[in-house]
Amino acid sequence: MITPIPFYYLRHGETDWNLQRRMQGRADVQLNETGIAQAHAAKSALSGQEVRTICTSPLARARDTADIVNLALGCPVVTIDDLAECSFGDYEGEPYGDWVVEWRRGGALPGAESYDEFLARSVAGINRALTFDGPVLIVAHGGVYWAIQHHGRIDTDGPIPNGVPVWHDPPTGDFPGWKAQTIA
């Protein structure tokens, strides 16, 4: 369960492996030129928002995105290991394929975290981030966002886009799921 506290979420900017639809996992892939530009666009979008703490994955693509955004926000930046992308084991660097769907259904991958273990770790990282002075901006990965989609009951038409900040409001009596709103 995600602690019912409003927060921002930002998936890191694009990498070359995103373009190639390769599963990055724990591989420390750098932002490409588009990803750097996306981080600067997110910085502009968030510059008028109240953010008191940025919590980020330790992987460079997320940390670099957080550092660029923080040029406008000037907040403390906290690295949280549990916000790192899933370890896909032997499948890191492989193209996205049917194996991902099977893994998400409970199938095992050699050397990888199970999907359920990954979701539990991601929720723990999100909840740890939400203990810091807020509103908090979490900068992490598309996979970590699966935990928010799953536990927050957020319907989307696919993965969260790279470099687009999203505001999240917790469930209310009128609406049982989290509300997600893109910040432009």
Q: Are 68 and 33 in contact (CB under 8 A)?
A: no
pLDDT band at residue 152 using 50, 70 and 90 as cut-offs: confident
150 carries an active-site annotation? no
Mean pLDDT, residues 76-93: 96
Q: What's the pLDDT score for residue 162?
A: 96
Domain boundary assignment for the chain: 13-133
- Say which residues have a Cβ less than 8 Å from residue 29's Cβ, sequence separation at least 6: 15, 16, 17, 60, 61
Mean pLDDT, residues 155-172: 88
94 carries an active-site annotation? no
Q: What's the pLDDT score for residue 15?
A: 97
Whether 75 has a pLDDT exceeding 90, the answer reads: yes
Task: Render pLDDT for 18-52 as a digit per residue (tens, 0 to 9).
Answer: 999 999 999 999 999 999 999 999 999 999 999 99
Nearest-Å Rg of the Cα atoms of the chain is 15
Architecture of domain 13-133: 3-Layer(aba) Sandwich (3.40)
Q: What's the pLDDT score for residue 178?
A: 92
Q: Which is the catalytic residue, given 14, 85, 92, 113?
A: 85
Whether 68 has a pLDDT exceeding 80, the answer reads: yes
Rounded Cα–Cα distance for residues 167 and 36 (Å): 21
